[in-house]
């Protein structure tokens, strides 16, 4: 489960930012999570809840996850389509000359502090 490592990475980063800004408590963290990022939201939420209890800065903090849909671009017909439903093959022209435009992201979008 790499979600625990991801959680620690986020918290470590936010602890540095909080120290630089003299923040004593984080109320809420909003993440953008790509649909095909390989991070499982339910596991991430469980890891966050567990880890937040162990770090005073995050005690009782909320983790909000916004899912970004995976979108693929076809170089042949220049159209975009939903990646999860169609995979690498373009549903419009059948081409395999495609690439992921979005959906693999993992971004800290917003932090609410006291």
| Residue 16 Cα distances to 50, 57, 60, 97, angstroms | 20, 11, 19, 42
Beta strands, E only, the chain: 26-34, 62-68, 71-74, 80-82, 98-102, 106-113
9 labelled binding-site residue: no
Closest CA to 112 of 75, 63, 68, 67: 63
DSSP state of 94: -
DSSP state of 57: G
47 labelled binding-site residue: no
77 labelled binding-site residue: yes
Q: Residues comprising the binding site for Zn(2+)?
A: 74, 77, 90, 93
Q: Residues comprising the binding site for Ni(2+)?
A: 2
Q: Residues comprising the binding site?
A: 2, 74, 77, 90, 93
């Amino acid at each position: 489960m790499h979600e625990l490592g991801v959680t620690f990475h986020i918290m470590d980063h936010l602890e540095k930012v909080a120290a630089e800004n003299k923040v004593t408590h984080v109320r809420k963290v909003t993440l953008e999570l790509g649909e095909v990022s390989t991070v499982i939201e339910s596991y991430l939420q469980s890891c966050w809840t567990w880890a937040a209890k162990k770090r005073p800065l995050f005690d009782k903090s909320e983790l909000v996850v916004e899912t970004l849909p995976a979108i693929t671009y076809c170089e042949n017909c220049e159209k975009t389509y939903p990646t999860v439903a169609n995979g690498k093959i373009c549903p419009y022209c059948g081409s395999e000359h495609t690439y992921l435009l979005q959906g693999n992201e993992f971004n800290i979008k917003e932090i609410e502090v006291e």
